[in-house]
Homo-oligomer: A and B are copies of this chain.
Amino acid sequence: MQNFEFQNGTAIIFGKNQEQVVGKQTAAFGKKVLLHYGGGSIKKSGLYDRVVSSLKAEGIEVFELGGVKPNPRVDLVREGVSICKKEGIEFILAVGGGSVIDSAKAIAAGAYYDGDVWDYFIGKAEVDLCVPIGVVLTIPAAGSETSGGTVVTNEDGLYKRSTGHQNMRPQFAILNPELTYTLPAYQTACGLTDMMAHILERYFTNEQHVDLTDRLCEGTLRSIIANAHTVIDDPTNYDARAEIMWAGTIAHNDLLGTGRIGDWASHEIEHEISGIYDIAHGAGLAIIFPAWMKYVYKHNVNRFAQYANRVWDVEIDLNDLEKTALAGIKKTEDFFHSIGMPIRLTEVDIDRTHFDEMAKKATDRCPLGNFVKLEANDVHKIYELALD
């Protein structure tokens, strides 16, 4: 086990009707608040009205910035940064999913920085002081509600880049599973894939002695798998929605990665796809992760066999561990397909056109991944494996 530091102080407020306390929670941090959200869905559902009236009941002055898109854009972040600077915003409340939260985090970091906020994403500056953030989560997927990371897309060159800092962690996250009832099946499945990918990125490590976190990863994966078809087939099933919502947070709150170095190549490889093609991040992961697994599993067949056995109940064949390992990969792929995810690029009409460019951009700063280090030619081969 590696030495590590772990601190995640985000207050989780979980359950039915919990969005009622958003005004009170927010008021503890400030009276000038930027309310950040996406499109019209929170207005249609009535959540917007409930949040605004809870804020106003506490005498909070609300500034608004809607319009966050999936794969949030740096242009809107810049707009948020100017509002913060101009109005002296004391707190940012993100109401939505991972894109809204990531956008809010970038605004929070940019608000105290004199340069351009994109500097944080290209290593030109390091995040330090941030405006505090709160979250009302509507999409369980990205785990951004308690993480210190953010991913933003720059349309000028179609770069999708990440940065992170402990100060970006939200102060509180309100998680009401009922708010996820209206998520369409496809978006629900994208979320399931995203949270599973967060665990898989941590699971495939070269650390040898990580028994406890292996088991926490496996348990969380099993719970997602066990509840996945219920939330898709029976979208207003509170119990299953609750398991999934809490699992999505735990998948990415850093506990499961303690003492180990995760891989994270698949996320970067996927970012190039959704950066160019604007497909859902979860769908991209369902395509890339199995391809990555096929490309790297020989690096540690035992770990892949353990994964197959403990997560997917594949019987261990001690005479042919490779068979066990491959069966686990096949189960992963079949599962993604079973919840309605694409598992090949051709299914989402992506061909080889940009493979060269994407492989180069994915590795432009360094080789990708930690489980196996990948250069541009490796990434290219993974795109080929993912093709059809």
Contact = CB atoms under 8 A, between A and B. Distances in A.
Contact of A219 (B13, B219, B226): B219
Q: Please state the number of chain copies in the assembly.
A: 2
Interface string A216-245: 101110110011000000000001101100
A227 B212 CA distance: 10
Given A209-B243, A216-B220, A10 B7 contact: yes
Contacts of A15: 1-4, 259
B9 A14 contact: no
A8 B1 CA distance: 22
A4 B246 CA distance: 11
A379 interface: no
A268 B247 CA distance: 32
A72 to B, nearest CB: 27
Contact of A259 (B10, B14, B212): B14
A371 B8 CA distance: 30
A16 interface: yes
Contacts of A208: 239
Interface in A330-363: none
Contacts of A3: 14-16, 18
Interface residues on A, range: 35 or more
A258 interface: yes
A103 B211 CA distance: 32
A94 interface: no
Contacts of A247: 212
Interface string A243-262: 10011001000010011000
A320 interface: no
A219 B5 CA distance: 22
Contacts of A10: 7
